[in-house]
Chains A and B, each alone.
Chain A
Amino acid sequence: MFTRGTLIYIGQRLVLIVLAVLGVSSLVFLGIHRLPGDALFSEHLHGTQYQLTLHHYGLDRPLWQQYVSFIAGLLHGDLGESLVNRGVPITPIVVREMSVSAEVGFVALLFTIGVGMVFGVVAATRQNSWLDYLLSTTSVIGYSMPNFVIATFLILVFGIWLDNFTQGTFYFQIGWPGRWGSIGAIWLPAFALGFPYASIVARLTRASMLEVIRQDYIRTARAKGLTEFIVTVRHALRNALIPVITILGPLVIGIITGGVVIENIFGIPGLGKEFATSILNRDYNIVIGVFTGYAALVGIANLGVDLLYVVIDPRIRY
């Protein structure tokens, strides 16, 4: 499956990811240093103390020297030190949060593809039935609702109303136990994050299924006496999935960026949560780190999707 060409391709892509990460972080670094104001200014810090703090972070040097040492640090995987919590290195924080964001995104992606495909296939095989209309309407509503609206309603229903209704026996507890969370904590955020995209997948699957099930080879498969299930799944769905696969790239990016909002609503300690907190705290070093982390995450996810194409569609070679 992975020939020598594929390995070379992966190598090239990794170089491109590094370049993209460098580009994004440089842009944010230089942009942040153009912003007015002083991140370290406070009434508790003045005179020599202030100068010493500036010196500690190297902020008293000319911009180009700061930039050179930033890039040098970045190439060593060192994103510097938090401006608010002095002495706390940023790289471990960003790496941990990247893994949490990736976890949530991955579960959301599984949900998106699973539910989207099932909905699409069911709607297509029962075209123009009430079930088809119900699913089609749901998917129009789904992709018209921003994920934070869906998240809000889910919290209202599962977090508050269910709690009141069952008098506290069953309800969704917002929170994130441990580093990796738990199944009880992840299913609702993943649902909120994936639902709009599941709607798009369902629409696409339905449309391409409708085209495929009218093909001759499907009639042949039925005429051979195969069961309806085998025909639908093995013959029709496999070919109907090809147009769906093409939107996998934008889908993954959408889920990653959508996570910024979802993590803040559900209090998940991922990159998105850190993003909002660090901007509010004016911890610019962490802001740079978060954007760097996002650039890396998007690059890696895109590479993963492109490699997945090879697995799914053997005609694709790199």
Chain B
Amino acid sequence: MAATAAIAASRPIAPEQASLWSDAWRRLRRNRLALVGVVYLALLVVVALVALVHTPYRFSEVDVGRPYSGPSGQHWLGVDELGRDTLSRLMIGAQISLVVGVGTQIVVLAIGVPIGLAAGYFRGWFDQVVTFVINLFYGIPDLLVALILVFLLGPSLTNIIIAIAVTRWMDMARLMRGQTLSLREREFIEAARASGAKPIKILFGHILPNALGPIIVQATFGVPAAILFEAFLSFLGLGVPPPTPSWGSMAAAGIVTMRIAPFMVVAPAVALSLTLMAFNFVGDGLRDALDPRSRR
């Protein structure tokens, strides 16, 4: 009897405390699809970084191989209609996609988070105006707005990021507003207010860190959406100006010659689909990991 009691005493009663993040990481590791996605995306980043210093051929150099030829030892993914190496162009295209995807989300975060925070915290007329504008933006089709903007601003990487961010910021603002609305009523915010914290400190020091989980999930889902948008714009000829390759414009060029050189369209199409899928898997995994209640 005494021995059992001694053992019980030596063992802590509560399980070891795990922070939200280490707990989420543990759950994420158990999700196989999400892990595959993480690995793929890590590889993609490496490829994009390597392409900064080295590609098998220069992406804009013509006549490095026989036009329309399929995969071979010299050209792993074949050669396009101007005799440019498809693999090299695909690697540069990965850079473009990642820059657009992540760049857009940075702009979206920079616009959406402060607006959502302020609208949710201060409420009143500001909240009404923000809600109205958000609903207004939801009412108009995003692809058309992006098309108009790129058409009017002129196609360039910066303008594409601006155009996509303009049509995407509402998701983040709405999420942030909702989170703030529910968090501001909690006791710890009241305590912070009672101890004299300034609104800025409460918003960015107390509310924002507690809403980080949903924000990260939303941003992860936002990246593939932006990449998809960029591919659409490039596909329609309103993307990054040539000769810079983008997966969308490569696919558009490949569709024309599909009958004689199917590889020209298959390579960018597969790269694009795999990337979007990986981001969606990681996003699903993060959502389940950060909010276990939402899992079905």
Contacts and interface: CB of A to CB of B under 8 A. Distances in A.
| Chains A and B form a bound pair | yes
Interface of A: 20, 24, 27-28, 31-32, 34-35, 140-141, 143-146, 148-149, 152-153, 155-156, 160, 207, 210, 253, 256-258, 260-261, 264-265, 275-276, 279-280, 287, 291, 294-295, 298, 302
Nearest to B151: A279
B280 A140 contact: yes
A34 B152 contact: yes
Given A152-B269, A291-B148, A279 B237 contact: yes
Contacts of A265: 255
Nearest to A259: B143
Contact of A141 (B139, B265, B277): B277
B269 A149 contact: yes
Given A34-B152, A140-B277, A257 B143 contact: yes
Contacts of A140: 277, 280-281
Contact of B141 (A146, A257, A264): A257
A146 B152 contact: no
A159 B237 CA distance: 24
B263 to A, nearest CB: 11
B223 interface: no
B152 A31 contact: yes
Given A145-B273, A257-B143, A275-B236, 6 more contacts: A32-B152, A140-B280, A146-B228, A152-B258, A256-B141, A257-B141
B152 A35 contact: yes
A278 to B, nearest CB: 11
B54 to A, nearest CB: 28
Interface string B238-250: 1000000000100
B141 A156 contact: no
Which of A28, A34, A153 has the largest count of B CB atoms less than 10 A from its CB?
A153
A257 B273 CA distance: 19
Interface secondary structure of B, over-half rule: helix
A276 B237 contact: yes
Contact of A144 (B139, B144, B254, B277): B277
Nearest to B296: A207
Nearest to B232: A261
Nearest to A147: B232
B142 interface: yes
B255 A146 contact: no
A253 B152 contact: no
Interface of B: 139-144, 147-148, 151-152, 224, 228, 231-232, 235-238, 248, 251, 254-255, 258-259, 262, 265-266, 269, 272-273, 276-277, 280-281, 296
A285 B210 CA distance: 51
Contacts of B255: 148, 152, 155, 265
Contacts of A302: 139
A291 B269 contact: no
B236 A264 contact: yes
A264 B277 CA distance: 25
Given A32-B152, A143-B280, A144-B277, A160 B144 contact: no
B262 A298 contact: no
B265 A291 contact: no
A303 B111 CA distance: 30
Contacts of B142: 253, 257
Contacts of B236: 260-261, 264, 275-276
Nearest to B224: A144
B156 to A, nearest CB: 14
Nearest to B229: A146
A156 B238 CA distance: 25
Contact of B232 (A28, A146, A153, A291): A146
Contacts of B232: 146, 148, 260-261
Given A34-B152, A156-B258, A156-B262, A148 B235 contact: yes
Contacts of A152: 251, 254-255, 258, 265-266, 269
24 contacts: A24-B140, A27-B148, A28-B148, A31-B148, A34-B152, A140-B277, A143-B280, A144-B224, A145-B277, A146-B276, A148-B235, A148-B269, A149-B272, A152-B254, A152-B269, A155-B255, A160-B258, A207-B296, A257-B144, A260-B143, A260-B147, A260-B236, A279-B238, A291-B144
Nearest to A276: B236
Nearest to B274: A144
Nearest to A31: B152
Contact of A160 (B143, B259, B269): B259
Nearest to A206: B296
Contacts of A148: 231-232, 235, 248, 251, 255, 269
B237 A280 contact: yes
A264 B233 CA distance: 13
Which of B141, B151, B152 has the largest count of A CB atoms less than 10 A from its CB?
B141
Which of A28, A146, A152, A276 has the largest count of B CB atoms less than 10 A from its CB?
A146
A162 to B, nearest CB: 13
